[in-house]
Each structure stands twice: as structure tokens, then as C-alpha cells.
């Protein structure tokens, strides 16, 4: 009865623990939610790069959506708005960096504190800062744009904010110049019809409009060679590249001489609360799908250097620690690497994959020191098991020995009926004991000894009563 009760208690406890564990897993997976990445893009180059991630994402069970209608500050605001659904997006380099320092307004500094909470999963390609003017304009530095009409990009674009920041650093602002919130089309018409004297663009060199502008003979591209190192020193998000003589065309020779440009690098950023498993999978997709070295026409992309991008170095955003792990190892963490494609194949919700990824490492951290204790302890388990089985036999051996001592006594304590009842009680209890086959010989030895005591009891005559 006691054994059956103990077994029932153990089974009930186990079932209860498993039930609680299952409930906990279900609750955690509900909090994780579905595996979905909604990426804000904007420009065609961002869209093209985002679409290259799609196959990797869907193969690993991630629902992947690309939104093409947000850019610049719209993307930043969407990333901070939990109702927008956007949890990843491309941001122009220098945009968030321009929201701090003495050239930024108090309102901009407040925005920097908010946007700085986003995490980066890497920089993906160069976006040079192009400053175009008409050939007849005597412009050699940004300071020469005072009093000019300047195209700085649309109001929501990242280009406009970075351009105005650089202009302000050179003493050019709304008080002494005209800032036009428009972009420059590929035909450069606003520069020719007098609507603008200069235009600042931040675009990759292989965009269609940029290729047209680089071949337009009646405009010129500003050379930053005299001050490029200073910009590089002062503004962490800005570096320099050199457009070499003839890099665009050899016939006609374009450009006719080397031109030093300032450049930023586009960043892929994610919400701070994006699940670590999603960050890891997105980072792996970014690493596996760098921007191609050739454009749509098969021409080499200017400033492309094999292995330069994607880059884990980000001067504006904190790089996610989960992204750093993937960059360092070059592969996904073990659980995600094997479990994500398997679960996707069998239709298991991504939340269970994310749960396993989150807690597998923690379980190992607990299990490893626990094993260091348990492995030596397991050596004592066989001896403990033997002791637990034998202790039941030893108990009845003690009872039998106690009876024998009574038989050996010579006095009034001897009572045949009482002793016979005791030997039968011991014998009945021992017959009900269940032991493994390995211990059967010890059980039968005990029963044999019980029989010996019984025979001895039967052979010994009753002692006369003390009164007689």
C-alpha cells in the first residue's frame, strides 16, 4: 500500500510539473508572438537589397514584408511606434548623428535620445554625398553656397537633414541662403532653368539618376579633397572616397581628374524589443546577401570593395549583441541553425523556435555546473539503490533477532502463543515484500531463517507459570 501510494505521488508530481512547464512554455510563446519582420525601405536600392533577404527569411519560417512608402524620419518614427508594425528599416548614415552636437537644435537633440535606442545589425553599402552645381558657379567648398538656392532633398528624407547639418557647420543656413526641399532629377533641369544653383544628394553611385548626372557635361561635381580629412575627423558617420579619373567613362574621360567625395554608409536598424532570434536570423540574411558588385546593366559598382560590407562597425547606433555573435562566428547559433529550418518545414510556429533559442543557452549554463555535481554523485547511486532494497529486509531481520533474544531468555517473558503470533506476523510481512530478482536470494535467506526460528519455537516446551 505504501509503495503504491508513493508511486502515485511521484507520478502525480511529475504530471503536475510537466503541466506547469507546458503552461509556462505556451505563455512564453504567446508573448514572443509570430515570427514577422516588416522592413521599411524607401529608395529602390533599399528595396532591392531588402528583397534579397526574402528567401532566407521565409526558408527559416519568418514572415517577411517590405514597405516601400517610408524613408528617412518616417522610418525612424515608424520604428519607435509600436502600432506601425515596422520593426526594421534602412537609415541613411549621418541622419541620427546629425541630431546631436552644437549644430543641432534642442528639439533635434531630444529626437537623438529616442532614435539612439534603436539597434543596428550592420552597415550595408556606401552612399556618397554628391554636391552638384552649374559649371559657371564658382563653388569650391560648402561655404561658397552662402546666398545660393540649394536643393537639399524632400522634407522627410534623410538627405535633407544631413545636408542642412553640413551646411550649418559651414555657416550656411536659412538666414543667408534658400533651402529648397526637393531632390535633383537625373536631367538636372532645376540647375539649368535657374530654380536652383546647387543640389546635395546622398545616393549610391549606381542609381539611375546618379549615372545620368555623372555624365551630364554642363554640371560639375564638388571636390572635397582640401577638407575631406577634417570632415572624417569631426563627424564619425562620414568618411571619404575618391572618384578616380576615368572611373565613370574613359571615352569621353569622366571625370577628367580625381574627385574626393564625402560618403556615409546606409544602416539597417531594428527595434530594441525585436526578439533575439529574429535579430540573429536577419543578421544571417544580411551576411549571406551583400549588395552585388555589379549594377543591373552588369557594370561594376563604384567604390565597391569585396568583403567591406556588410560591416558590424556602426558609428551611430549600438550594434545588437545577437548580431555581433553572428558576425563573429559567421553562422547562426546552434539551436537556430538546426531548429529554425526544421520547424519551418513541419509548420511549427516560429515562437517555439524562438523560445528554444532563448532558453537553451540558459539551460546549458545551469546544466553544466549541475552535471559537475551530478556525475560524481551518480557513482553512489548503485550503492544507494542496494541499501534502499536491503533496508526492508534488514528491518525484519532485526525483528526476528529480537524474537530470538526473547527465546534465549530464561524467565517469565517466554509466552508460546505470543511468540508464535509474532513469528507469523514477521513471516506474513516478509512474504508481502517485493524485491528485484537480483535480491531474491537474500529474501529467501530471510524466509529460511524465519522457518528456523519457527521450528525452534515449536520444539521448546512451555515454561510453567511463575506462580506454580
CATH number at residue 167: 3.40.190.10
- Closest Cα to residue 94, out of 183, 164, 180, 170? 164
Residues 280 and 395 in one domain: no
Residues 92 and 187 in one domain: yes
Residue 162 lies in a domain: yes
Residue 5 lies in a domain: no
Residue with cell 564625402: 262
State residue 24's pLDDT score. 45
Residue with cell 555657416: 171
Q: Which residue stretches of the chain have pLDDT < 50? A: 1-3, 5-6, 14, 17-31, 463-468
State residue 31's pLDDT score. 47
Residue 455 lies in a domain: yes
Residues 310 and 452 in one domain: no
What is the C-alpha separation between 245 and 206, in angstroms, rounded?
Answer: 17
How many structural domains does the chain have?
2
Residues 299 and 400 in one domain: no
Torsion 339-341-347-353 (CA) sign: positive
Of 315, 332, 349, which residue is a domain's last? Answer: 332
DSSP 8-state symbol, 267: E
Residue 373 lies in a domain: no
Helix (H/G/I), strand (E/B), else coil: 34? coil
Residues 277 and 407 in one domain: no
State residue 2's pLDDT score. 44
Residue 250 lies in a domain: yes
Residue 372 lies in a domain: no
State residue 353's pLDDT score. 83
What is the C-alpha separation between 269 and 96, in angstroms, rounded?
Answer: 11
Residues 108 and 177 in one domain: yes
State residue 106's pLDDT score. 84
State residue 465's pLDDT score. 39
What are the counts of helices (DSSP H) followed by strands (DSSP E) for the chain? 16, 13
Residue 362 lies in a domain: no
State residue 335's pLDDT score. 85
- At 256-285, the pLDDT tens digits run 999 999 999 999 999 999 999 999 999 999
Residues 198 and 257 in one domain: yes
Residues 99 and 227 in one domain: yes
State residue 451's pLDDT score. 81
Residues 283 and 387 in one domain: no
Is there a contact between 126 and 296 (Cβ–Cβ < 8 Å)?
A: no
State residue 27's pLDDT score. 47
Residue 200 lies in a domain: yes
What is the C-alpha separation between 57 and 38, in angstroms, rounded?
Answer: 11
Of 302, 332, 362, which residue is a domain's last? Answer: 332
Residues 299 and 395 in one domain: no
pTM of the model: 0.74
Of 298, 332, 366, which residue is a domain's last? Answer: 332
Q: Which residues contact 328 (CB under 8 A, 6 or more apart)?
A: none
Domain that holds residue 392: 383-459
Amino acid at each position: 500500500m505504501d509503495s503504491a501510494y508513493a508511486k502515485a505521488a511521484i507520478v502525480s508530481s511529475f504530471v503536475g510539473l510537466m503541466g506547469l512547464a507546458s503552461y509556462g512554455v505556451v505563455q512564453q510563446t504567446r508573448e514572443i508572438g509570430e515570427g514577422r519582420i516588416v522592413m521599411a525601405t524607401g529608395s529602390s536600392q533599399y528595396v532591392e537589397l531588402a528583397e534579397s533577404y526574402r528567401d532566407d527569411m521565409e526558408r527559416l519560417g519568418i514572415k517577411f514584408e517590405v514597405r516601400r512608402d517610408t524613408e528617412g524620419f518616417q522610418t525612424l518614427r515608424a520604428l519607435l511606434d509600436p502600432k506601425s508594425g515596422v520593426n526594421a528599416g534602412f537609415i541613411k548614415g549621418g541622419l541620427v548623428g546629425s541630431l546631436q552636437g552644437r549644430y543641432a537644435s534642442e528639439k533635434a537633440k531630444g529626437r537623438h535620445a529616442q532614435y539612439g535606442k534603436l539597434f543596428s545589425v550592420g552597415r550595408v553599402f556606401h552612399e556618397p554625398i554628391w554636391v552638384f552645381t552649374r559649371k559657371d558657379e564658382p563653388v569650391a567648398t560648402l561655404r561658397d553656397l552662402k546666398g545660393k538656392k540649394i536643393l537639399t532633398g524632400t522634407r522627410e528624407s534623410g538627405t535633407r537633414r544631413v545636408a542642412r547639418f553640413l551646411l550649418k557647420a559651414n555657416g550656411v543656413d536659412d538666414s543667408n541662403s534658400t533651402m529648397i526641399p526637393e531632390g535633383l532629377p537625373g536631367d538636372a533641369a532645376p540647375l539649368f532653368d535657374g530654380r536652383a544653383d546647387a543640389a546635395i544628394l546622398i545616393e549610391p553611385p549606381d542609381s539611375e539618376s546618379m549615372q545620368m548626372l555623372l555624365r551630364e557635361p554642363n554640371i560639375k561635381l564638388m571636390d572635397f579633397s582640401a577638407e575631406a580629412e577634417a570632415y572624417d575627423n569631426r563627424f564619425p558617420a562620414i568618411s571619404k572616397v575618391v572618384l578616380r579619373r576615368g572611373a565613370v567613362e574613359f571615352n569621353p574621360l569622366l571625370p577628367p581628374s580625381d574627385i574626393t567625395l564625402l560618403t556615409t554608409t546606409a544602416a539597417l536598424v531594428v527595434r530594441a524589443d525585436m526578439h533575439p532570434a529574429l535579430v540573429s536570423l536577419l543578421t544571417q540574411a544580411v551576411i549571406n546577401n551583400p549588395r552585388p558588385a555589379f549594377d543591373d546593366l552588369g557594370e561594376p559598382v563604384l567604390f565597391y570593395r569585396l568583403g567591406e560590407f556588410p560591416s558590424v562597425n556602426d558609428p551611430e547606433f549600438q550594434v545588437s549583441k545577437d548580431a555581433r555573435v553572428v558576425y563573429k562566428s559567421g553562422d547562426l547559433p546552434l539551436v537556430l541553425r538546426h531548429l529554425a529550418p526544421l520547424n519551418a518545414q513541419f509548420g511549427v510556429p516560429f515562437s517555439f523556435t524562438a523560445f528554444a533559442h532563448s532558453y537553451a543557452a540558459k539551460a546549458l549554463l545551469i546544466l553544466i555546473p549541475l552535471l559537475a555535481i551530478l556525475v560524481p554523485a551518480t557513482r553512489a547511486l548503485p550503492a544507494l539503490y542496494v541499501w534502499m532494497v536491503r533496508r526492508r529486509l534488514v528491518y525484519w531481520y532485526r525483528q526476528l533477532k529480537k524474537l530470538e533474544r526473547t527465546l534465549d531468555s530464561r524467565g517469565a517473558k517466554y509466552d508460546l502463543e505470543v511468540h508464535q503470533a509474532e513469528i507469523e506476523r514477521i513471516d506474513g510481512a516478509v512474504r508481502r515484500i517485493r524485491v528485484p530478482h537480483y535480491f531474491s536470494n537474500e529474501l529467501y535467506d530471510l524466509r529460511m531463517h524465519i522457518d528456523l526460528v519457527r521450528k525452534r519455537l515449536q520444539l521448546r516446551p512451555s515454561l510453567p507459570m511463575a506462580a506454580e
